[in-house]
């Protein structure tokens, strides 16, 4: 008995030691590579002022260039990065082609520089996962170990880009399967996330954090709890709009029977026209707008309208559908923060910054099906005072968004309602939710009863006199 116990503990010790070492090394390498990506993005952003015309005039040509680059050198780098990594983990044991790393980096920089409404977290995660896959192949790791390292790469890439190492680690193990956290990868993901985040800070990356405690009183009270529940319902609806818009726009554009390069050019041209009409805040990353919504100073909020989140959804759907390379998570942050601002300005003007912060994490939770990572992100970004409200809002919005996702390759492992009939174990894009047979029968009986009552209220029909 003692020998078995010692054998078990020894095996676990060596396994932990192995993954502490591997995830630390992979985290440092990914932190350095993604830092290069972020530095190039920052340099390109400051270089826009050198152009003798508005930078977004380049967008139609930039989208054509990115479509050509991706199609020619790395077809799996198409679209927003996290989705491709999820698909690689589920369908190909985490195998990611090496050309994805430079092509995704360059195509994303070109897209964001020219004004495409895309993000940087998804490409960061895809670059991190690509580096992990390449190192796994270089050192001939098993398929199982490669899969774990690629998941660590997702966590490390996300943590590096947004500066949230704990949320990044949880996101990597929560985003793959809806309703399941991969505990066997939890420790490596934590270590990879911390190592990557620390490396990025050492190399000079600065992150924005917000302590709402200094902005306003967000102490626990029943009225505010009720308003947060209403907001969570609203964020669930907003998330459904985002998922439907992004996925359907891409599907419709794909079906248009013309060259993909013409689609990219005319898609970019349409975004340029919309920018001339509505302004520049809907293109690019939109980080300034996000920062302003979480700052309660009224002077910052003059250009944020109730429909801002709808326009950002439109710009993002067109950018990705027309061939822009980048992520979806930064636009989701924008949509969440501005929809929270819209809700707060109507329902609770004294708590606008709080509802902007709740929208930031709740729309992320609902669109990506990651309520735990989103709640932890709220604490890392906004402080502990927001934790209870963030958890409530993130979970409710996650449930109300239904069995849908901005990442169609996610696998469903839970039903969000016992009243629904849903096939577990399928990818989200193949899910068709319907009422359980017992619920259908109950509803049919209720309809029959209502019909009988209506007939009784009407009474017998009178015969007309001849």
How much is the pLDDT for 87?
87
- CB proximity list for 317: less than 8 A, separation 6 or greater: 245, 246, 248, 249, 250
What is the predicted pLDDT for the residue at 441? 59
- Number of C-beta neighbours around residue 64 at 10 A: 21
Superfamily of domain 2-202: Clc chloride channel (1.10.3080.10)
Element (DSSP H or E) covering residue 412: strand 411-412
pLDDT of residue 299: 46
Q: What architecture does CATH give domain 212-412?
A: Orthogonal Bundle (1.10)
CB atoms within 10 A of CB 139: 11
What integer pLDDT is reported at residue 294 of this predicted model? 84
Residue 195, pLDDT score? 95
pLDDT at 56: 95
**What pTM was estimated for this model as a whole?**
0.89
pLDDT of amino acid 216: 56
Q: At what angle do helices 222-255 and 352-368 cross, to 10 degrees?
A: 50
List per-residue pLDDT tens for the chain, 466 residues long.
777 778 888 888 888 999 999 999 999 999 999 999 999 999 998 899 899 999 999 999 999 999 999 999 988 777 677 888 888 888 888 888 888 889 988 999 999 999 999 998 888 888 999 999 999 999 989 998 999 999 999 999 999 998 889 998 899 999 999 988 888 899 999 999 999 999 999 999 988 777 665 455 566 688 999 999 999 999 999 999 999 999 999 999 999 999 999 999 999 999 999 999 999 999 999 888 888 888 766 445 557 888 999 999 999 999 999 999 888 999 999 999 999 999 999 998 888 889 999 999 999 999 999 999 999 999 998 888 888 999 999 999 999 998 889 998 899 988 888 888 788 888 888 877 666 555 555 565 566 666 665 666 665 555 555 4
pLDDT for position 182: 86
What distance, in Å, lies between the first and last C-alpha atoms of the chain?
100
pLDDT of residue 211: 65
pLDDT of residue 61: 96
- Intervals of CATH 1.10.3080.10 along the chain: 2-202, 212-412
């Amino acid at each position: 008995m003692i020998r078995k116990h010692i054998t078990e503990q020894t095996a676990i010790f060596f396994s932990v030691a192995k993954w502490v070492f591997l995830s630390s090394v992979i985290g440092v390498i990914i932190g350095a590579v993604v830092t290069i990506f972020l530095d190039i993005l920052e340099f390109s952003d400051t270089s826009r002022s050198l152009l003798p015309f508005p930078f977004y005039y380049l967008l139609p040509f930039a989208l054509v260039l990115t479509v050509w680059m991706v199609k020619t050198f790395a077809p799996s780098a198409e679209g927003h990065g996290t989705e491709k990594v999820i698909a690689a983990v589920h369908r190909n044991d985490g195998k990611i082609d090496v050309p994805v790393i430079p092509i995704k980096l360059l195509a994303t920089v070109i897209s964001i520089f020219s004004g495409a409404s895309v993000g940087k977290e998804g490409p960061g995660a895809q670059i991190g996962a690509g580096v992990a896959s390449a190192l796994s192949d270089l050192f001939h790791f098993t398929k199982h170990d490669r899969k774990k390292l690629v998941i660590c790469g997702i966590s490390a890439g996300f943590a590096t880009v947004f500066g949230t190492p704990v949320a990044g680690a949880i996101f990597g193990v929560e985003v793959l399967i809806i309703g399941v956290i991969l505990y066997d990868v939890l420790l490596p993901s934590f270590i990879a996330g911390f190592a990557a985040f620390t490396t990025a800070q050492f190399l000079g990356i600065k992150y924005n954090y917000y302590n709402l405690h200094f902005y306003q009183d967000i102490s626990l009270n029943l009225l505010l709890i009720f308003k947060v529940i209403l907001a969570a319902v609203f964020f669930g609806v907003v998330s459904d709009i985002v998922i439907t818009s992004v996925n359907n726009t891409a599907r419709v554009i794909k079906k248009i029977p013309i060259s993909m390069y013409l689609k990219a050019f005319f898609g970019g041209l349409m975004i340029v026209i919309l920018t001339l009409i509505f302004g520049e805040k809907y293109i690019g990353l939109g980080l300034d707008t996000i920062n302003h919504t979480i700052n309660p100073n009224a002077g910052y909020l003059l250009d944020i309208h109730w429909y801002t989140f709808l326009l950002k959804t439109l710009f993002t759907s067109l950018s990705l559908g027309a061939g822009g390379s980048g992520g979806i998570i930064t636009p989701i942050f924008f949509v969440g923060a501005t929809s929270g601002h819209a809700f707060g300005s109507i329902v609770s003007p004294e708590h606008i910054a709080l509802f902007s912060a709740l929208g930031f994490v709740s729309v992320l939770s609902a669109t990506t099906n990651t309520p735990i990572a989103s709640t932890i992100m709220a604490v890392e970004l906004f402080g502990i005072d927001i934790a209870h409200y963030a958890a409530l809002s993130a979970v409710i919005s996650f449930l109300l968004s239904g069995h849908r996702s901005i990442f169609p390759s996610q696998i469903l492992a839970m039903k969000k309602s016992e009243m629904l009939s849903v096939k577990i174990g399928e990818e989200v894009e193949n899910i068709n939710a319907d009422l359980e047979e017992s619920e259908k029968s109950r509803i049919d009986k209720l309809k029959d009863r209502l019909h009988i009552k209506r007939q009784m209220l009407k009474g017998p029909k009178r015969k007309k006199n001849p």
